[in-house]
Amino acid sequence: MFNNRIRIKDLLATDKVNYSATVMGWVRTFRNNQFIALNDGSTINNIQIVATLGEFDEALLKRLTTGACIKATGEVIPSLGKGQKVELKATSIEILGDSDAETFPMQPKKHSLEFLRENAHMRFRTNTFGSVFRVRHTLAFAVHHFFNDKGFLYLHTPIITASDAEGAGEMFKVTTLPLDGTAPTNEDGSINFKEDFFGRSTNLTVSGQLEGELAAMAFSDIYTFGPTFRAENSNTTRHLAEFWMIEPEMAFYDLEDNANLAEEFIKYIIRYAMDNNADDLEFLNQRLADEEKQKPQTERSEMGLLEKLNFVVDNDFERLTYTEAIDILKNSNHNKKKKFQYLIEDWGTDLQSEHERYLVEKHFKKPVILTDYPKEIKSFYMRQNDDGKTVAAMDILAPGIGEIVGGSQREERLDKLTQRMKEMHVPADELWWYLDTRKFGACPHAGFGLGFERLVQFVTGMGNIRDVIPFPRYPKSAEF
């Protein structure tokens, strides 16, 4: 048997000593020809391995370079070093994989996040990305934990679809037709997708919501958690071309039930990460504090990462309508002094992220649930309110991130839905299956979509969304 190792996390978790153990991992540093700091990714903490002077071959010691993979066996002994209870006094060290010190990209020094993004294949081996992806894992696990405990069914919605759920038209086409100009065409010269693999034009999904609603009309409560694709050419710190979305859909829920679930959900998974990734969050807290110190005083955030997370789980989210938000924004000094790039003048305009951030970061200083938006700026499936002007939509805005959740009560009344689809030029014939749920046993229902990476950003304090997904996809970038 090769793998009789103990994980470094488990080894460091106790102060048990005087037993033999084998660890495997990647060398972070090798000091004084004697002390190896080894990491196996199970924790941010390294185990110190002592290679007593004179007991090991010079040739072997030379190969203990940063990045090398080794197997070490020895006696677990009390550690005199600070910050660790135990260390390993090596009796044997075996090199599993050499790492050339000159060319290994992850030198034992501070690298910029941009550099690490260009070396995403190796960045897992840094403290920052180790922590980010351990936290990401925990959050993903907590998503399933939360919904499973609540009796929600995990529904797998298709990745290839023929519908554009958001109507935004920002989709990646899926086709097997040749791209060299020889694809079959219609009489008018357009591509004849009847000849394509699926016999129609298809794309990568922008949302699993419409399919999710179908299942909610049978299982009551479902959620999806899967990849989502948007061909939006937005080079922001909050947009990816490929991201993961969590979309619960619930029968017998109105907008308020929906907001309650979203708030409970966000608090639950943040708390779950705080309970299970304390070391990583401690590290990320310090990382962010150091980063903030580089900024001018006025741009620094008032709270540290852990302080912010504690604040969010301990306090109610602020709830208000779009109309109330417009009033606040319109009358704000920021607006009067023309500090917004897009000034708020009339009811009905869409909020830009500068407005969202003003509300969340300056005005309320906590997460905000905005409801009842003008129907013109929202999707066709949102339930129309009695005022004839607004729909039962909700967005949740988080400090530092802006929109993290978009959701609504869904329009369950067939006549209202089809009328709205007509107004918005949504092809009803293509969505016949969606409309069927409104014909056979319709009920009030609601749901939301939460962008998983934005949540990971929020919890880890990482400023750029490209740093919270292992292999980010964005305009002009699909390396790795």
The site for ligand ATP (CB under 6 A) is made up of: 166, 230, 232, 238-240, 243, 245, 403-406, 449-451, 453-454
- Closer of 279 and 403 to ligand ATP (Cβ): 403
- Closer of 318 and 403 to ligand ATP (Cβ): 403
Question: Widest CA span of the chain, in angstroms?
Answer: 85
Closest distance between ligand ATP and the C-beta of residue 220, in Å? Answer: 22
Between CA 5 and CA 20 the distance in angstroms is: 11
Closest distance between ligand ATP and the C-beta of residue 121, in Å? Answer: 22
* Residues paired with residue 376 on neighbouring β-strands, in sequence order: none
Between CA 11 and CA 6 the distance in angstroms is: 7
Closest distance between ligand ATP and the C-beta of residue 31, in Å? Answer: 41
Closest distance between ligand ATP and the C-beta of residue 166, in Å? Answer: 5
* Residues of the chain by 3-state class (helix, strand, coil), percent to 5: 35, 25, 40
* Residues paired with residue 392 on neighbouring β-strands, in sequence order: none
220, with CB counted inside 10 A (0-12, 13-18, 19+), is middle
Q: Which amino acid is located at 290 in the chain? A: D
Closest distance between ligand ATP and the C-beta of residue 273, in Å? Answer: 17
- Closer of 109 and 476 to ligand ATP (Cβ): 476
Q: How many CB atoms lie within 10 A of CB 324?
A: 13
- Closer of 30 and 243 to ligand ATP (Cβ): 243
Strands in 202-204's sheet, in edge-to-edge order, are: 160-161, 202-204, 173-174
- Closer of 127 and 464 to ligand ATP (Cβ): 464
Cα separations in angstroms, 222 against 35, 212, 252: 52, 7, 12
* Residues paired with residue 174 on neighbouring β-strands, in sequence order: 202
Question: CA neighbours within 13 Å on the CB side: how many for 55?
Answer: 12
Closest distance between ligand ATP and the C-beta of residue 405, in Å? Answer: 5
- Closer of 30 and 147 to ligand ATP (Cβ): 147
Between CA 123 and CA 109 the distance in angstroms is: 13
- Closer of 74 and 208 to ligand ATP (Cβ): 208
Q: Are strands 173-174 and 202-204 parallel, antiparallel or unpaired?
A: antiparallel
The token duo for 187 is 């009489």
Closest distance between ligand ATP and the C-beta of residue 81, in Å? Answer: 42
Closest distance between ligand ATP and the C-beta of residue 167, in Å? Answer: 10
- Closer of 240 and 250 to ligand ATP (Cβ): 240
Closest distance between ligand ATP and the C-beta of residue 67, in Å? Answer: 32
The token duo for 352 is 């830009």
Closest distance between ligand ATP and the C-beta of residue 410, in Å? Answer: 14
Closest distance between ligand ATP and the C-beta of residue 179, in Å? Answer: 25
- Closer of 298 and 341 to ligand ATP (Cβ): 341
Closest distance between ligand ATP and the C-beta of residue 395, in Å? Answer: 7
Q: Are strands 86-97 and 69-78 parallel, antiparallel or unpaired?
A: antiparallel
Cα separations in angstroms, 151 against 173, 219, 231, 244: 35, 10, 34, 22
* Residues paired with residue 477 on neighbouring β-strands, in sequence order: 474
Between CA 216 and CA 446 the distance in angstroms is: 9
CB 50 within 8 A of CB 88: yes
CB 221 within 8 A of CB 152: yes
Sign for the pseudo-dihedral over CA of 131, 134, 137, 143: negative
- Closer of 278 and 478 to ligand ATP (Cβ): 478
Q: SS3 of 451, please?
A: strand
- Closer of 281 and 450 to ligand ATP (Cβ): 450
CB 176 within 8 A of CB 200: no
- Closer of 37 and 273 to ligand ATP (Cβ): 273
